[in-house]
Amino acid sequence: MTRRIRNVLYKEWVSLAATPSSLLFVLVIPVLLILQALFLIWLLPIFIAPDMVSVFVEGSGGLQKTDLFRLLLLSQFRFFVLLIPAMIANTFATLSIVEEKLTKTLEPLLATPVRTWELLTGKALSGVIPAVLITWMSAGLFILGARLLGWADLLPYALDLTWYVTLFVLTPGISVLSFIFGLIGSSRATDAKSAQNLAVLVVLPIFAVIGIQVTGLVQFTPLLTALLSVGIALLDVLLLWPAVRLFARESILIRWR
């Protein structure tokens, strides 16, 4: 990583730290998501008959029906967790670009020797690194919460290979995708809110994957999840080209509003 990329990265984080509301959003939302998930998993088996559970969970014989239901819900978290990088990376992208537009710092920045790819990489890393790290920490918090709630016996079933592929391969891909959408959205937006509208393009497919998994129509095996990760990575590469073009100096000064 070059000195200039580190410079952009560091400044983005310092800027975020100087904005308590944004910092709070980035740190609090993942925790709220996890607490909500744990609470629902704890709550739902009390009200819903779990006869259907065996349809979804294989190889977990010997577990109580309530535990089977909890296991089903715990397993859903593997995709539910993808909402965290999607939101965080998008927030970083939009805050970072929209701030440059609002404060009119892009032109003086473009008159320095920083290259466009260095600026873009620094900004991307400033969003993708915290998105991935916070997702991993959230997953750790989720595991800790599950243990504290007495579901340690269920974790070996829930934390299967698909879980790890999702966490360590799919999460970075989703983070990059979300950042790119944030960047594209920001180029035409004049405020952070409208810039974040494109984030829905990342969040909706995640909800779709969660829905597909819940219905049991498709079994997300490690191989299928790995293929999904490759697909997301290809999409990242495909979308990177228009994003880089949008971020070209001339485009920023002439076409951006």
Partner 1 sequence: MIQTERLARRFGKRLAVDELTIGVGAGEILGLLGPNGAGKTTTIRMLAGIIAPTSGTARVDGLDPAIEPERVHERIGLLTEAPGFYERLSAKRNLEYFARFYTGIEPSDAAERSLARMGLADRANDRVATFSKGMKQRLALARTLIHEPRILFLDEPTAGLDPEAARDLRDLIQELRRDRRTTLLCTHNLQEAEALCDRVAIFRTRLVAMGSPAELRERQCEPALRLRLREASGDLVSSIERLPFVRRIERVDGEPGGLRVRLDDPEADRQHLVAAIVEAGDEIVEMVSERPSLEAVYLRLIREEPS
> Torsion-angle region of residue 143: left (phi > 0), alpha (psi -120 to 50) or beta?
alpha
State in angstroms the smallest separation of the CB of 102 from partner 1: 9
Nearest CB to partner 1, comparing residues 62 and 113: 113
- CA gap 170, 35 in Å, rounded: 22
- Name which of 3 and 257 has its Cβ closer to partner 1: 3
Residues that bind partner 1 (CB under 8 A): 3-4, 7, 11, 14-15, 18-19, 99, 103-115, 249-250, 253-254
C-beta of 78 vs 101, nearer to partner 1:
101
Q: Which of 19/36 has CB closer to partner 1?
A: 19
- Residue 127 CA to residue 123 CA, distance in Å, equals 7
The contacts of residue 125 (CB under 8 Å, 6+ apart) are: 1, 5, 9
DSSP tally for the chain: helices H, then strands E: 14, 0
Please provide the DSSP assignment of 87-147 as one string.
HHHHHHHHHHHHHHHHHT-HHHHHTSS--HHHHHHHHHHHHHHHHHHHHHHHHHHHHHHHH
Neighbours of 153 (CB within 10 A): 11
Euclidean distance between CA atoms 223 and 37, whole angstroms: 26
Handedness of CA 72, 137, 29, 225 (dihedral sign): negative
Cβ distance to partner 1 smaller for residue 3 or 241: 3
15 vs 54 by CB, closer to partner 1:
15
